[in-house]
Amino acid sequence: MAAMTTARPKSGPSEGRPSVVQTFLSRHGGMMPTFAAVAILILLFIGGEIFLRGDFIKPLTISNLLINYAYLLVLAVGMTFVILTGGIDLSVGSVMAFTGMLGAKLLADGLPVGIAVPAMLLGGAAIGLFIGILVQYFGVQPFIASLAGLFLGRGLAFIVSLNSIKVEDPAVLWLQSTRIKVGDWVITPTGIIALITVAIAAFVLHLTRFGRTIYAIGGSEQSARLMGLKVGRTKIAAYVISGTCAGLAGLLLTAYSNAGYPRNGIGTELDAIAAVVIGGTLLTGGRGYVLGSMIGVFVYGTIKTIINFMGAEQAWMQIIVGSLLLLFIVVQRAIVARAEGRR
């Protein structure tokens, strides 16, 4: 409303050449929260270095981020798709537990990896499809639909087994136990899988019609529909992707812990959401980057590492992540409010 009344120069046909900064801001203004996340990550590293007297910034610490949080990174990638459409997926933590249990059980029953792993991914995709259909065709709020998915996933995990199932399949264990060394840097196959997931997601979101439709829906579902975009299909696909990522995360977590455990990942969906938001994706949808989500996961992991190094209470983890989340949401609101004020 303010824009209708302000007497400001029109940004229109008769404008002079704008400065480089103006051009950058008008093109990539939406990246600011992601830059902020990078800044916070750097600050955390510097802070860690100072507190721990030079024992923090070293290849191993950074390598460990990817070794320990590969599963969270994959969850955050799937979550980014859903949040970009303006939705939310609360089911991923329990879907990850379910698929982990499913895989462990199938392997324990003697089925080959070639069946167990696709079954995990398909199990996750199926729950995602279920949520997507609820959201799209039954008009259920994403929050509620994915809450149903959360209970479903957790219940299914307990149906598979009430106790943890040990995994002894060498192929699955190989994913985490192999250490590929490049100088002082270390990476596991799980980390490579997570990075590939990020790369594929970034490609899909930015360079395919499907990806741009995801952004369009987040901007305005009504407009996207009037523009003739395939809104329904794309929205369901976003939940299927999130479910599939949860299935993949189930595999990575199973490899990491050598077992499927039905109580895995309680509350992990909130960690994934926190990482996505800290990484600069707007909860209202339409703005954000999957690379930002990766930064968000690293911020999350770094805070946890620092707290471990300091030997402080784990409760501080929750408080710090909570505060950061709050800070980022306030920053995002300010950015959105400014953008609206300008129009």
Residues that bind other proteins (CB under 8 A): 1-8, 10-13, 15, 18, 23, 25-27, 29-30, 206-209, 212-213, 215-216, 218-220, 222-224, 226-229, 286-287, 339, 342-343
Q: Minimum distance between the CB of residue 272 and other proteins, rounded to whole angstroms?
A: 22
Which of 296, 294, 272 lies closest to 146 in space, CA to CA? Answer: 272
Distance CA 257, CA 260 (A): 8
Distance CA 201, CA 205 (A): 6
Give the relative orientation of helices 231-257 and 142-160 as an angle to the nearest 10 degrees: 40
User: What are the strands, taking DSSP E only, across 56-193?
Assistant: 165-166, 180-182, 185-187
Return the number of the residue (27 or 53) whose C-beta is nearest other proteins: 27
Residue pair 117/177 in contact by the 8 Å Cβ criterion: no
Q: Minimum distance between the CB of residue 227 and other proteins, rounded to whole angstroms?
A: 6
DSSP classification of residue 179: -
List the beta bridge partners of residue 181: 186
Which of 4, 64, 46 lies closest to 191 in space, CA to CA? Answer: 64
Q: Minimum distance between the CB of residue 280 and other proteins, rounded to whole angstroms?
A: 13
List the beta bridge partners of residue 260: 165
Q: Minimum distance between the CB of residue 289 and other proteins, rounded to whole angstroms?
A: 12
Phi (first) and psi of residue 181, to 5 degrees: -105, 130
Tokens of 258: 């050598």
Return the number of the residue (284 or 323) whose C-beta is nearest other proteins: 284
Return the number of the residue (184 or 340) whose C-beta is nearest other proteins: 340
Q: Minimum distance between the CB of residue 328 and other proteins, rounded to whole angstroms?
A: 18
Return the number of the residue (87 or 260) whose C-beta is nearest other proteins: 87
Q: Minimum distance between the CB of residue 250 and other proteins, rounded to whole angstroms?
A: 30
How, if at all, do strands 180-182 and 259-260 pair? unpaired
Tokens of 158: 């307990």
Q: Minimum distance between the CB of residue 14 and other proteins, rounded to whole angstroms?
A: 9
Return the number of the residue (154 or 287) whose C-beta is nearest other proteins: 287
Tokens of 44: 């955390």
Phi (first) and psi of residue 180, to 5 degrees: -95, 120
Return the number of the residue (30 or 296) whose C-beta is nearest other proteins: 30
Return the number of the residue (214 or 240) whose C-beta is nearest other proteins: 214
